Structure 1
């Protein structure tokens, strides 16, 4: 149970535990499946920080494309929604041609895309750039979470101490068993 609690706290807290602004619509990452060619930072970001980002921002779509080649760039695209004044229903109904033209370019008018070059960068550098770009707020640990972390750390220290004591006892029992076997061997040699 302690391992599960530790993993859950690691997801809720730590680097990448950020609350993104409401205008972020989607985050897309594209990098190579292997770490050669500077793709290790994006891979580590995906494994560690993106989990916490998704936990704290469930409404933000986060997609990964790992089909890039090692020589391709590793890119993170952050899609922001732009404030878009909605056209009145009277003007759209009176001019159907304008309705067709606005739907074709609707996506380009309603979102802005910013990119981060992740190639040859560490996961912490990528995270810092994302925070700078989005002005995300870090999640602070509550008093209950800090207390839980303290208790888990105490249990971990106690467990390490108990493991060391157990190893000493096992070593002593093994040594006594070896001495007893040696004594039995010596007794058998003297009797013969």
Structure 2
């Protein structure tokens, strides 16, 4: 079983990958829902929407927990792949409710307008770029690391480098020993 330290490092790296990368954007408060519709199979241009679903959507949901994200996966081999963004008019009192950490009652918002993005035969980065452009979302950027984390990262890099040097040194010594043994055997034979 891995040590608690290595598990913590793995978890920290996993959380970092959820917080950052393509799809890490903060949507404006007037977006009430995002709906994806694409096929199960990646045939006929549905690979980009599938990758968007797997890579970008979790990051969007992480940064926007109040936005409903509905995914519809169809079994048809052909058909459209769309991303529908539902906008709503947000009254001032609901804006204050959205900023609270814990809501007492769920906020039900009526859709006033929608925008469709065609995802067929497109890369996830292009889909995300158009989503950010059409919604005026702000991309999330990670704040700088604390000095303790920087020191730990430097320490781990040096430690890993030393381990690799030692490993390669042992491998070279084993190869030399094997060659020397083979040479002795050929001389004795």
Common topology (TM > 0.5): yes
Stretches of 4+ aligned residues off by more than 3 angstroms? 145-158, 184-187
TM normalised by structure 2 equals 0.72
Which of the two has higher C-alpha Rg?
A: 1
Structure 1 gap segments, 5+ residues each: 85-106
Q: 1:40 to 1:145 in 2, by over 3 A?
A: farther
Task: State how far apart, in whole Å, the 2-side matches of 1:112 and 1:10 are.
Answer: 32
From 8, 24, 35, the counterpart of 2:15: 8
Question: Are 1:121 and 2:122 counterparts?
Answer: yes
Task: State how far apart, in whole Å, the 2-side matches of 1:71 and 1:146 are.
Answer: 52
- Superposed, 1:1-192 pairs within 5 Å as 1=6, 2-83=9-90, 110-144=111-145, 148=149, 152=153, 155=156, 159=160, 162-163=163-164, 165-180=166-181, 182-184=183-185, 186-187=187-188, 189=189
Aligned residues between the structures: 165
Task: State how far apart, in whole Å, the 2-side matches of 1:122 and 1:147 are.
Answer: 37
When you count helix as a share of all residues, which structure comes out higher? Answer: 1
Structure 2 gap segments, 5+ residues each: 1-5, 92-108
